[in-house]
Amino acid sequence: MVGTPVFLIAIPLLAAFLIPLIGMIWKESVRIIPGLVLAYMTVLSASLYLFILENGTYVETIAGWQAPWGIDLVFSPLTGLLATIMTFMGFIVWLYSYRFKSNVEFEAAKKYFIFLMLLVAGSVGIVITGDIFNQFVFIEIVGISAYALTAFYTGRNSAEAAFKYLIMGSLSASALLIAIIIVYAQLGTLNMAEIAANIDQMNVHYRIIAMIFFIIGIGVEAEIFPLNGWAPDAYTEAPGPVGGAFSGIVVKAGIYAMVRMMFTLFDISGPMKILIVIGLVTLIVAETSALRQEKLKRMLAYSSIGQMGLVLVAFGMGTKAGVFAALFLMLNHAIIKPLLFLSGSFLTFNTTEKYISQITGMAKKMPVVSVLFALGALAISGLPPFSGFWSKLSVLTAAADENLMLIIALVLIISVIEIVYYFRVINRLFFFEYDESVSVKPHKPGFNGMIALFILAGLILLIGFYPASVTGYLDLAADDLLNTHQYIDKVLQLGQSIIQ
């Protein structure tokens, strides 16, 4: 091991404070240090993950106080898997944007990389923390980095998208704080395991109200309907790689927070139905909106929201197969969506509007990027033999086990819709003539960016042809999420509870 879970958060923070200092002397460091930190986080997270697969969940206490009293970090098969995915995606996004703005101001680049690094660190923090108020703090860290990244380009609309995001984000943060207040007032603790162990002592009315506030509070990051109004604008206006970071990292953290809250914290009969309803509404609204979009990134954003709806539906089934399918979907989405965003951002390079019509016939000019984009599009719409197929299949089998025919039918219809709108783009990309008056000027994509794209594409093909390479890990993670008692026992190691 090269560290403990707390390094995943402390090291990026240390680096963020260090960068302005070193940047005064050595300008290139503002690009290199974040990359080194993200690479280190990936290695650390992966090695910790392998470690805990052998030795069981690792709970780290902070400031020397045992779990119910102090803040603790939980590194379990589920959180470890997610943290590894996130840090890896963070590294990929860094790799893609390494030369980003290299010809422009040093100050801007410095800030961009600090925000990116803290975005990843905050998302990892949301996942591995075991304390609800600590989670709130991390949500705010992610939030402020995300607002700043959205408003990064000084274009006309970016400030507006960021402002919209900020209003929704801070309203939902207030809701989250109210939920925390209710829980603390009733149970006198903020530790997740402690809350989970004592949730049945809480009045049912308060439990339901607190849960509603929690859903509102986390829903903005998790992009559930109707709290996702910010997403299409933010994805469109943010710099290209940031869209990939949002869909690959931030949303995953939001979904995790929501699922952890539903499965572990609030043990109400029927919360799963709530998840299914939320997920289905999100799915249908988002996918039908995606069909109508004229702008590439807006379409991708709606598609991303729709996928998250599907994830929630799969989680909502509440069975082992459902959770497994949901995690599989999350993994695939975390790989495929950044590929689409990153390659899409190469295709619409230097345009402000990013209309789909602007990429007409680009395949003739930028064949490699176009093929990679098409690969992502085919994979996410669930066509065999790519990775998306297996996750959609597992959703369908999970639904079939539970006899949820409505869900099966809807998922199939949605898949058709997805195929339609992705093929619309692919059609334009490959089978139309290049038209100089409409299309963007082709450019030579950077070397580092292409490496990032190839890594992602390689992963898609790997999972597509050998799904068994990941299913074992996902299986363990699903077990971990469903086993609330084990979580409580592991965190409250001594078996002591402050509430008798």
Partner 1 sequence: MKKAIVIFFLAVFGYFMAITFLSPEFEADRNRNGVKDFYLEKTVSDLKTANTVTAIVVNFRGFDTLGEVTVLFLAATALGSILFKKRHHIGERTVLYPASTIVGSGAKLIFPAIILLGAYVFIHGHLTPGGGFQGGTIIATGFLLMLISYRNFSISHNILSVIESLAGILFVVFGFMGLIYGGSFLENFMGTGILNDLFSGGVIPVIYILVGFKVAAELTGLIYTILHEKG
Partner 2 sequence: MDTAELIRLGVYGTSILLILIGLYAVLTKKSLIKIIIGLSIIDGGIHLLLIGIGYVKGGTAPIFSPGSEDAVARMVDPVPQALVLTAIVIGFGVTAVALSLIIRLYRHHNTLNIDEIKNLKW
The dihedral built from the CA positions of residue 137, 142, 144 and 147, taken in this order, carries a sign that is negative
Sequence-distant (6+) residues with CB within 8 A of 475 are: 324
| 214 sits near partner 1 (criterion: CB under 8 A) | no
**68: three-class secondary structure by DSSP:** coil
| Stretch in the footprint of partner 2 (CB under 8 A) among 123-131, 156-164, 203-211, 364-372 | 156-164
| 2 sits near partner 1 (criterion: CB under 8 A) | no
Task: Choose which of 4, 47, 157, 471 interacts with partner 1 (CB under 8 A).
Answer: 4
Which of 427, 51, 42, 100 has its CA nearest to residue 249? 42
| Stretch in the footprint of partner 1 (CB under 8 A) among 2-10, 84-92, 272-280, 322-330 | 2-10
- Report the residue number, 226 or 472, with the smaller CB distance to partner 2: 226
| 16 sits near partner 1 (criterion: CB under 8 A) | yes
- Report the residue number, 8 or 411, with the smaller CB distance to partner 1: 8
Distances (CA, A) of 476 to 140, 439, 458, 480: 30, 47, 24, 6
- Half-sphere exposure of 199 toward its Cβ, with a 13 Å CA cutoff? 24
Residue 430 CB, nearest distance to partner 2 (Å)? 29
Retrieve residue 391's tokens.
């996750």
Q: Are 307 and 291 in contact (CB under 8 A)?
A: no
Retrieve residue 272's tokens.
């799963």
Distances (CA, A) of 415 to 378, 388, 422: 11, 11, 10
| 206 sits near partner 1 (criterion: CB under 8 A) | yes
| 206 sits near partner 2 (criterion: CB under 8 A) | no
Task: Choose which of 8, 48, 81, 114 interacts with partner 1 (CB under 8 A).
Answer: 114
The Cα 343–Cα 193 span in angstroms is 41
Sequence-distant (6+) residues with CB within 8 A of 269 are: none
Q: List residues binding partner 1 (CB under 8 A).
A: 4, 6, 10, 13-14, 16-18, 20-21, 24, 60-65, 68-71, 105, 107-108, 111-112, 114-115, 118, 125, 133-134, 137-138, 140-141, 144-145, 147-148, 151-152, 154, 159, 162, 178, 182, 184-190, 198, 201-203, 205-206, 209, 212, 498-500
Q: List residues binding partner 2 (CB under 8 A).
A: 133, 137, 140, 143-144, 147-148, 151, 154, 156-157, 159-164, 166-167, 169-171, 173-174, 177-178, 180-181, 184-185, 190, 229, 233, 237
